[in-house]
Every structure is written in C-alpha cells, then in structure tokens.
Amino acid sequence: MSDRILSGMRPTGKLHLGHLLGALENWKKFQGKDTFFMIADWHAFSSEYDSGSPVRGYVNDVLIDYLASGLDPAKCTIFVQSHVPEHAELDLLFSMITPLGWLSRNPTYKEQIRELKDKELHTHGFLGYPVLQAADILLYKANKVPVGEDQLPHLELTREIARRFNSMYKEIFPEPEAILTDVPRLPGTDGRKMSKSYNNAIYLSDSPETVDKKVKEMITDPARKRRNDKGHPEVCSIFYYQKLFNPGAVAEIDKTCRSGELGCVDCKKALSEKLRQFLAPVYEKRCELEKDRSAVESIIEEGDKKARWIAAKTFEEAKQAAGL
Ligand code: TRP
C-alpha cells in the first residue's frame, strides 16, 4: 500500500519563522502524495479554552499562513479538525479503551503541566489530548506522520491505541510512524526558543519593516559592548540566523566578527536583507489571501469535504468492528 501522510498544528496564534522552518518547509516536500494537513482546533481549545482569544480567529490565520507558505490545495487536503465531527466521535470511542495510566505517564503531558503553570490543565480533555491525536491520525489510516521530536510520545500512544483496538476487535488500523524533521530549534529575537508566549517571534504576517525592526533589536554577543570589540559568533543569535539565511557569507562573517572588523549593526543589516528576500513571497501571498477571503473559505470547504468523506467511512468501520 502506498503511504498516506497526515500532520497538523494547533491554532494558538499566527505562525512564525520557527513553524515555517520546523514544519511547513518539511510538509511541502510531501505534497503531491496522499497527504492531509489539519488545523487542530480542538487541540488548541484543550489549553486555550479560557484564554479570551477565540481559537476560531486563529484557525483563519493559520489557514492563511499554511497557504502563504506554499501548501497547495491542489496537491494536498487542508482541513479543520472540528469541521469533521468524526474526530470527536472516534476520540470518544478510543477513550473507552485507553487505560488512564497510559495518559498520566505520558512525558509530554507531564512537561506541559509543569511548564504552563498559569493555565488550569488538570482537565479530562487535556489528559486525553493524545487520544484525540490518535483519532486524528487513525481516522485517515495514515501511516506516516511528519512531526517534531516532542510529538514522539503521542505517536507511541497512537500505535498503542491502534494495537489495542486491532487486537480487541478487528484489524483495521495501521501503526503509524513519525517522520522526524531534523531542524534545530530556531532562537527567537531574545535568544530563547522562538515562541508566541515569549514575545520573541518573527511572524509570517510581519511586514518587511517589522522584520527589519525585530532584527535590529535582536540580542547579539553580550560581551561586545563597543563597535570594535572582538565578537563570539557561537553565542550570537544573529550568527545562527546568518548560517540559515546567508550561508554564502558565513565564513567571512565569522572571521570579521571575531576580529572586531564587522560591527553588529552591519551584520544585522546583511541578515535583514536576506531574511526579507526569504520572507517576501510568503508575505505577499499572505496579503493577497487576506483580500480574497471567499477563495480561502472555499479551499477549506473543499478540504473539509474530502476529509469527511474518508473519516466517515473509517468511523463506520470502527463502530461496526467494536459492535457499537
Ligand atoms: N499535537 C500536535 C502539536 O502540538 C498537533 C497535532 C494534533 C497533530 N493532531 C495531530 C500532529 C495529528 C500530527 C498528527 O504539534
């Protein structure tokens, strides 16, 4: 059987450069195959249910970000999780056969509870996050799931749930594998991991002027106080970016930064230029899409329809097998 590929993101805000390099650029490589990309709004809601920033608005932003980044609805199916009710239904069925211990032992769960202290995450829904993710994947009988390393425990649970279902009722589901993206975590403008919650992200929706401004404000080598001080590229986020966006000049930058010839202001200017070139097509496409909401809407309607057609068949099969 040929591969079916599925992945998704939680719409908890507009997408940034970290998402583009870490996920979307990789997803694009699978287009043209049997490929599904989802906007996991139920998953977003499991932590954002009381945040006062409606998930629905972010669904729209993320959809436009997907399209602007080059996901092409002619080559893949793009859909919204909550528009396909079978996700919630299969989640419920799976929740009946998933032992609690599998969920409470999940390292990603434990880490999130620890990290997101300002949120009340001791909920039934949040504990069941990976059960819903298993439903997302298995509804389409996807066997390949491109994700980051943090998702491996969820994939493992998906396999365990599939195995349990298959052995308890009937062999229906494949045991999907992760396809890992080997992209290093992109630092944000303050050197920490790029994230909306740290307020250090460069967004796909940032205008070229905003990108310039953010690059100007980026933190460089803290030991370099004066223009001619010798720099240490290995501790500088700008240098990290130069390696990604300006690879041809890296050797020269490394040398002239260390000797103190190249100042941070000029180094940032060179980076800004490259970053603009990289982001311009995405930004322009984004502006076009913002103006043509009805086109965007029909793309999602089409994707939802295709997804639902498959999801309904699988869910019926699962119900039958389970004797429900
Ligand atoms: N949990 C994933 C994340 O946070 C998002 C997600 C939801 C997902 N359902 C999925 C990813 C199914 C892959 C397949 O990134």
Residue 228 sits in the same domain as residue 139: no
Find the helix packing angle between 293-322 and 55-68, rounded to 10°: 110
More confident residue, 154 or 119: 154
Alpha carbon of 296 to ligand 1 centroid (Å): 22
Residue 249 sits in the same domain as residue 297: no
Residue with tokens 């970000």, as numbered in its chain: 65
pLDDT in tens, 56-106: 999 999 999 999 999 999 999 999 999 999 999 999 999 999 999 999 999
Residue 233 sits in the same domain as residue 318: no
Q: Which residues pair with 145 in a beta bridge?
A: 178
DSSP class of 105: T
Q: Which atom of ligand 1 is nearest to the CA of 132?
A: 9
Residue 48 sits in the same domain as residue 99: yes
Read off the CATH number of the domain in which 65 is found. 3.40.50.620
Going by C-beta distance under 8 Å and a sequence separation of 6 or more, which residues neighbour residue 122?
A: 113
Report residue 147 as tokens.
């994700």
Residue 46 sits in the same domain as residue 119: yes
More confident residue, 183 or 54: 54
User: Pocket of ligand 1, candidates 45, 136, 150, 185: which has the most ligand atoms within 8 Å of its Cβ, to mutate?
Assistant: 136
Residue 36, domain member (yes or no): yes
pLDDT of 130 over the 90 cut? yes
Residue nearest to atom 13 of ligand 1 (CA): 7
Average pLDDT over the chain reads 94
Alpha carbon of 9 to ligand 1 centroid (Å): 5
Q: CA distances (Å), 259 to each of 125, 228, 232, 253, in order? A: 55, 8, 9, 10
What CA–CA distance (Å, rounded) separates 9 from 150?
13
Residue 196, domain member (yes or no): no
Read off the CATH number of the domain in which 247 is found. 1.10.240.10
- Among 89, 88, 99, smallest CA distance to 164 is for 99
pLDDT of residue 197: 80
Alpha carbon of 196 to ligand 1 centroid (Å): 18
Per cent of the chain over pLDDT 70 is 99
Average pLDDT over residues 101-115: 89
Residue 105, domain member (yes or no): yes
Read off the pLDDT band of 112 (50, 70, 90): confident
Residue 246 sits in the same domain as residue 125: no
Alpha carbon of 153 to ligand 1 centroid (Å): 11
Alpha carbon of 79 to ligand 1 centroid (Å): 13
pLDDT of residue 186: 87
Residue 182 sits in the same domain as residue 60: yes
Read off the pLDDT band of 165 (50, 70, 90): very high
Alpha carbon of 243 to ligand 1 centroid (Å): 29
Q: What does R_g of the chain's alpha carbons equal in angstroms?
A: 22
pLDDT in tens, 220-279: 998 888 888 999 999 999 999 999 999 999 999 999 999 999 999 999 999 999 999 999
Residue 129 sits in the same domain as residue 217: no
pLDDT in tens, 168-204: 999 999 999 999 977 767 899 998 889 888 899 999 9
Residue 12, domain member (yes or no): yes
Alpha carbon of 249 to ligand 1 centroid (Å): 36
The number of domains in the chain is 2
Q: Which atom of ligand 1 is nearest to the CA of 133?
A: 9
Residue 97 sits in the same domain as residue 240: no
Query: For residue 225, what are the domain limits?
Result: 208-287
pLDDT in tens, 277-302: 999 999 999 999 999 999 999 999 99
Residue 111 sits in the same domain as residue 212: no
What CA–CA distance (Å, rounded) separates 272 from 92?
48
Residue 11 sits in the same domain as residue 116: yes
Neighbouring CB atoms inside 10 A of 46's CB total 20
Residue 39 sits in the same domain as residue 161: yes
CB-defined site of ligand 1, < 6 Å: 6-10, 40, 43, 133, 136-137, 145, 147, 151, 154
277, 259 contact by CB (below 8 A): no
- Write the DSSP assignment of 291-303 as a string of letters: H-HHHHHHHHHHH
Report residue 184 as tokens.
């290093």
Residue 199, domain member (yes or no): no
User: Pocket of ligand 1, candidates 4, 5, 6, 7: which has the most ligand atoms within 8 Å of its Cβ, to mutate?
Assistant: 7
